[in-house]
Amino acid sequence: MYHRISIPESDQQVHRFLWRDCNQAKRANTYVKTNKQTSFCHGSSSFEKTAKVNKETHPEAAQVITNDSYMDDILTSVFDVNSAEQLSTDIDQVLKTGGFQVKEGISNGQINNSPTNQQLNDKSVLSDELEQKFLGVVWYPTTDLLLYKVEPDSFPENVLTKGIATAFPIRGKNLKQKLWQQGCDWDDDLNENNKAEWRQFFTELADLDNVSFPRCLLSNSSFKPPELIVFCDASENAFGSVAHTRWEDTEHKFEVRFISAKSRVAPLKQLSMPRLELQAAVVASRLYSTIKEEMTVSFDRVVFFSDSIIVLSWIRGQSRLYKSFVANRVAEIQGHTDPSDWRHIPGENNIAMFLDLLRNRRRNTV
């Protein structure tokens, strides 16, 4: 992609860099970026410029290129094959006006009018023909499932603090926080208790291997817009939020899909549980704002669940009546959400409690 972009000769002199070939004693050579030698930022801006120029003739394709592109990949979704075929054709036409050509396309449906999608049968991104990988997530087009692939490495005894996997993030962050409190440096050897905890952590990562969930968040069988359900919870170790879509189909059955989750480690400075629960509510409001901004779907309604009656009372009150810690966070929550959308849920039914694996493992051992 980047070699399809040219820099005007008048601008080439401002794209300079110095290079000493890692030799500090050597006089630096000056290099000038010339024709078709660009960086990622130039590629992204050229993509957006191409979409903007074609916005009038191909509005949907231009919007997809602008909003659903990451580096040189375009990831988007539509409801049916006909819409996918039309969108694929329009994207090809728009990019062609900028001198770009789609290398290959991958879909969970059979798109017949785009030659780029036919390459899926002949060439795969990964060695397994059934697997594709986008932005670090494994996707099976045939089943339209996203899943985790976990391959824990072998960690030397003295570097067990490094290379934390993205799975079980709070557990790993809690362990790192504990090492920081103990004053451990990056290359320090760990005591036996810490080593045992890290070994257990990496062993448990294997449980995530092949855990899958549907990519599609909506359904054509729904007779009205979906609902957005957001849970939040906190413990002495962490706080966070989980969001799902929920809809009723034509047979009056409900289906649920996982959208996203956010979690944070509890601060070293001890906070009361109501304040930690309030922090979780803030995360829930921010997660909702992100989902609303990124998704093109209109939700029938939004419901927030918390198991803290105190937090619900704060959210439904006037922020100016509280002390600064509570007032600032309540004001943010009220700015992002409608206080009437907040509901109470019993703690045992709050699925956000599973964000803290350490707390739940203690419950299971009691």
- For 327, other C-beta atoms within 10 Å of its C-beta total 16
| DSSP class per residue in 245-296 | EEEEBTTS-EEEEEEEEEEEEPPSS---HHHHHHHHHHHHHHHHHHHHHH--
Q: Is residue 191 part of a domain?
A: yes
Domain edge (last residue) among 123, 147, 179: 123
Q: Does the pLDDT at position 137 exceed 80?
A: no
Q: Is residue 150 part of a domain?
A: no
pLDDT of residue 231: 96
Q: How far apart are the C-alpha atoms of 218 and 17, rounded to whole Å?
A: 49
Strands 145-147 and 254-265: unpaired
Is-contact 299 226, C-beta < 8 A? yes
Q: Which run of H or of E encompasses 132?
A: strand 132-134
Together in a domain, 230 and 360: yes
Domain edge (last residue) among 105, 123, 141: 123
Residue written as token pair 């929550």: 333
Q: Is residue 145 part of a domain?
A: no
Adjacent-strand bridge partners of 301: 227
Together in a domain, 255 and 304: yes
- Residue 347 burial by Cβ neighbours in a 10 Å radius (0-12, 13-18, 19+): exposed
* Banded model confidence at residue 121, pLDDT cuts 50, 70, 90: very low
Q: Work out the percent of the chain whose per-residue pLDDT is above 90.
A: 23
CATH number at residue 286: 3.30.420.10
pLDDT of residue 156: 44
The mean pLDDT of 77-83, rounded to a whole number, is 84
Is-contact 250 221, C-beta < 8 A? yes
Name the most confidently modeled range: 26-35, 138-147, 299-308: 299-308
Q: How far apart are the C-alpha atoms of 105 and 122, rounded to whole Å?
A: 12
Q: How far apart are the C-alpha atoms of 234 and 347, rounded to whole Å?
A: 10
Together in a domain, 172 and 280: no
pLDDT of residue 160: 37
Q: pTM higher than 0.85, yes or no?
A: no
* Banded model confidence at residue 28, pLDDT cuts 50, 70, 90: confident
**Least confident piece of the model among 133-137, 160-164, 306-310, 332-336:** 160-164
For residue 263, give the nearest of 355, 350, 148 by alpha carbon: 355
For 151, the 3-state DSSP assignment is coil
Structural domain for 178, as ranges: 159-208
Q: Which run of H or of E encompasses 317?
A: none
The mean pLDDT of 149-172, rounded to a whole number, is 51
User: 150-160: per-residue pLDDT in tens?
Assistant: 765 544 444 33
Which has the higher per-residue pLDDT, 245 or 33?
A: 245
Together in a domain, 272 and 232: yes
- For 258, other C-beta atoms within 10 Å of its C-beta total 14
Q: Is residue 74 part of a domain?
A: yes
Provide CB contacts within 8 A for 160, sequence distance 6+: 190, 194, 195, 198, 199
Q: Does the pLDDT at position 3 exceed 60?
A: no
Q: Is residue 263 part of a domain?
A: yes
pLDDT of residue 92: 87
Adjacent-strand bridge partners of 211: none
- Residue 81 burial by Cβ neighbours in a 10 Å radius (0-12, 13-18, 19+): middle
pLDDT of residue 175: 86
User: 257-278: per-residue pLDDT in tens?
Assistant: 999 888 888 888 889 999 999 9
User: 41-50: per-residue pLDDT in tens?
Assistant: 555 677 788 8
pLDDT of residue 309: 96
Together in a domain, 62 and 200: no
Q: Does the pLDDT at position 26 exceed 60?
A: yes
Together in a domain, 175 and 101: no
Name the most confidently modeled range: 146-155, 162-171, 185-194, 349-358: 185-194
Q: Is residue 133 part of a domain?
A: no
Q: Is residue 220 part of a domain?
A: yes
Cα angle 104, 109, 111 (rounded to 5 degrees) comes to 55
Is-contact 282 327, C-beta < 8 A? no
Q: Does the pLDDT at position 30 exceed 60?
A: yes
**How many residues appear in the chain?**
366
Q: What is the CA radius of gyration of the chain?
A: 25
User: 297-314: per-residue pLDDT in tens?
Assistant: 889 899 999 999 999 999
Q: How far apart are the C-alpha atoms of 148 and 127, rounded to whole Å?
A: 16
Together in a domain, 181 and 231: no
Together in a domain, 280 and 169: no
> Token digits for 47?
């993509």
Q: Is residue 146 part of a domain?
A: no
Together in a domain, 236 and 334: yes
Q: Count how many domains the chain has.
A: 4
